[in-house]
Structure 1
Amino acid sequence: MNQSEEQALLLQATEGDVQAFSVLLEKYYTMIYKMAFRWLGNQQDSEDVAQEVCIKLGRSIHGFQINSKFSTWVYKIVLNTVRDFQRKQRNHDNIEEIPAVTNSNTLEQQVQNTQLWQLVHQLPVKQRDAVLLVYAEGLSHSEVADVFECKESTVSWYIHEAKKQLKTLIQHD
């Protein structure tokens, strides 16, 4: 689906076209689920969050600003839904295994990658989210700034601070 087709579907969906909204959900569902899984590391929780995100999208699609980027809006909703879920689950450590983001060639590389993502999950929330959005989701600093509704320099600072803290965590590990 190209950009103009997506825009047409968005316009139809904001006007109440259920079929157009369904097509958009089909396109974005995998991204929604994978993002939730990267944050939560648990299949069942990720499915629950993905379902909740779809419900939230359906309830609020009529208010979507058509001149905005849909994927940025989806990222915001996923991120907020994950944070809400984590607040509800705060007393439980649900991270069973942080999924590897890259396709490593050796078992040793996969183990190191998993350990690194476990350390990322120990970072303060904004730093963790910035790292995951940039390095796991592949967003630019500018796109993350749109999601966070802040300046691009703020995102760069979050990434910088996260790298410093990760270096310290790795040295103490």
Structure 2
Amino acid sequence: MEETELIKLAQHGDAKAFEQLIDNRYDTIYRFAYKWCGNDVDAQDIAQQACVKLARNLKQFRFESAFSSWLYRLVINCAKDWQKTHNRYQTQTDHLPEQASSSSTHESAIYLQQILEKVSRLGEGFRETLLLVMAEGFTHKEVAHILGTQEGTVSWRMHEIRKSLNLLHEKGVE
């Protein structure tokens, strides 16, 4: 069954359609939550909150944009709520990823957490912009749509991130 049909059925109270929608999208939700917080337990909490929020707010989705854009916005909001609730404005390196399949993967995870720590200091919108562009692979246009901002703002944020870190360009991150 196509995602659009699942969404419509779930919006009308079909529990099986909603369950299938969650099954199809849970990895995306969890993966982004994990990149946000850096550990499995908190990522599961954020993902669970996102699923609950999805159940409550799915009727508000109007098919005016891609479902994935709407879903990322919902997960970002849950991650921000989690961060506020848990007073997680301290250094994110306290929450480095717990498991790594190789030293290369572990080094990449540590590097990402160090970048996120520095980017968090730049201000509102920078962290999610970086995660969506660098970690999720979205274009600036797609990120602008997800975040409800202008493409130029996303480009400016990425420029400021590169400028302030001077590490992104050296590592070859575009």
Superposed displacement of residue 47, structure 1:
0.4
Distance 1:19 1:114, change over 3 A: closer
| Paired residue secondary structure (2:155) | helix
Find the counterpart in structure 2 of residue 6 from structure 1: 3
| TM-score normalised per structure 1 | 0.83
Distance 1:110 1:64, change over 3 A: closer
Distance 1:8 1:110, change over 3 A: closer
Distance 1:117 1:99, change over 3 A: farther
The answer as to whether partners of 1:142 and 1:152 remain within 8 angstroms in 2 is: yes
The answer on 1:130 being equivalent to 2:129 is yes
Separation (CA, whole Å) in 1 of partners of 2:99 and 2:164: 20
The answer as to whether partners of 1:100 and 1:114 remain within 8 angstroms in 2 is: no
| TM-score normalised per structure 2 | 0.82
Instruction: Report the number of matched residues.
Output: 164
Distance 1:110 1:59, change over 3 A: closer
- Give the alignment partner of residue 42 of structure 1, picking from 27, 39, 60: 39
Separation (CA, whole Å) in 2 of partners of 1:163 and 1:149: 22
| Paired residue secondary structure (1:67) | coil
Gaps of 5+ in 1: none
Q: Which amino acid aligns with 2:14?
A: D
Gaps of 5+ in 2: none
Find the counterpart in structure 2 of residue 158 from structure 1: 157
Find the counterpart in structure 1 of residue 144 from structure 2: 145
Find the counterpart in structure 2 of residue 86 from structure 1: 83
Separation (CA, whole Å) in 2 of partners of 1:150 and 1:115: 29
The answer as to whether partners of 1:42 and 1:96 remain within 8 angstroms in 2 is: yes
Superposed displacement of residue 13, structure 1:
1.5
The answer as to whether partners of 2:162 and 2:169 remain within 8 angstroms in 1 is: no
Percent identity reads 35
Distance 1:70 1:170, change over 3 A: closer
Q: CA RMSD in A?
A: 2.7
Find the counterpart in structure 2 of residue 27 from structure 1: 24
Superposed displacement of residue 58, structure 1:
0.3
The answer as to whether partners of 1:53 and 1:78 remain within 8 angstroms in 2 is: yes
Separation (CA, whole Å) in 2 of partners of 1:17 and 1:111: 41
Separation (CA, whole Å) in 2 of partners of 1:151 and 1:99: 36
Find the counterpart in structure 2 of residue 62 from structure 1: 59
Separation (CA, whole Å) in 2 of partners of 1:137 and 1:168: 19
